């Protein structure tokens, strides 16, 4: 999409903002930088998401809370607290749970971290179904395709998916081909709105 096409697309969404839920799987979004070559900024993401949904309760930001590897710790690590606070400041409703640390001989430091929020995202989409007509999903993870198909076929919910071009799961592409997803949008086209570096370039 060109910048003009993006402006027209967002203008068309304006009248539907009160009936749109946005799901941001930020751990998935963070991984886009490996193929994009730039990072998505939370502030920039928040500004774009507000073009889709005018209701904070329906702008959902899913990200793990990292308390470190000791299960008894009650102190959130500084970088984790900063990320969650920044998302809240930029108009998101936060959905989080504790990051798990698992022993791994192959991992640097001897631990791997894990915090999947796929179930929470799917449940929220189903739980909130009376409050929206369109779901906008910032994630290329194909695991959400089952919930998307269910909501499309049983409740006639529309779906728009954002992802980096080479990080959109096959399941989501199939769901688009089957008509369960109306639009696949690519982060590359939205660099001028999403890139964290645009602030440093004065854009």
**Residue 150 CB neighbour total at 10 angstroms:** 16
pLDDT at 151 over 70: yes
Pairing relation of β-strands 100-103 and 111-114?
Answer: antiparallel
Tens of pLDDT, residue by residue over 56-107, are: 999 999 999 989 888 888 899 999 999 999 999 999 999 999 988 777 666 6
Tens of pLDDT, residue by residue over 181-194, are: 999 999 999 999 99
- 86, exposed or middle or buried, with CB in 10 Å at 0-12, 13-18, 19+? middle
Is there a contact between 125 and 21 (Cβ–Cβ < 8 Å)? yes
Is there a contact between 132 and 157 (Cβ–Cβ < 8 Å)? yes
Sorting pLDDT into bands at 50, 70 and 90, what band is 110?
low
Cβ partners under 8 Å of residue 171, min gap 6: 142, 143, 145, 146
pLDDT of residue 198: 63
pLDDT of residue 109: 64
Which domain CATH number covers 82?
A: 3.40.50.1010
pTM of the model: 0.91
pLDDT at 203 over 50: no
User: Helix axis angle, 170-177 relative to 145-155, nearest 10°?
Assistant: 20
Pairing relation of β-strands 158-163 and 134-138?
Answer: parallel
The total of structural domains in the chain comes to 1
Tens of pLDDT, residue by residue over 153-179, are: 999 999 999 999 989 999 999 999 999
Q: Which domain holds residue 113?
A: 3-199
């Amino acid at each position: 999409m060109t910048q003009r096409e993006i402006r027209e697309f967002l203008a068309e969404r304006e009248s539907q903002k009160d009936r749109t839920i946005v799901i941001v799987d930020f751990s998935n979004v963070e991984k886009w930088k490996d193929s994009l070559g730039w990072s998505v900024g939370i502030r920039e993401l928040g500004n774009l998401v507000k073009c889709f949904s005018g209701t904070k309760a329906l702008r959902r930001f899913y990200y793990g809370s990292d308390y470190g590897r000791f299960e008894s710790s009650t102190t959130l690590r500084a970088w984790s607290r900063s990320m969650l606070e920044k998302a809240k400041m930029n108009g998101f409703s936060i959905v989080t749970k504790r990051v798990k640390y698992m022993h791994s001989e192959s991992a640097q430091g001897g631990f791997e971290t894990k915090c999947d929020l796929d179930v929470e995202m799917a449940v929220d989409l189903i739980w909130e179904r009376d409050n929206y007509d369109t779901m906008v999903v910032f994630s290329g993870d194909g695991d959400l395709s089952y919930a998307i198909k269910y909501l499309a076929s049983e409740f006639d919910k529309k779906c728009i998916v954002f992802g980096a071009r080479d990080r959109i799961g096959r399941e989501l592409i199939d769901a688009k081909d089957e008509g369960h997803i109306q639009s696949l949008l690519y982060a590359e086209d939205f660099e001028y709105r999403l890139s964290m570096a645009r602030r440093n370039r004065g854009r």
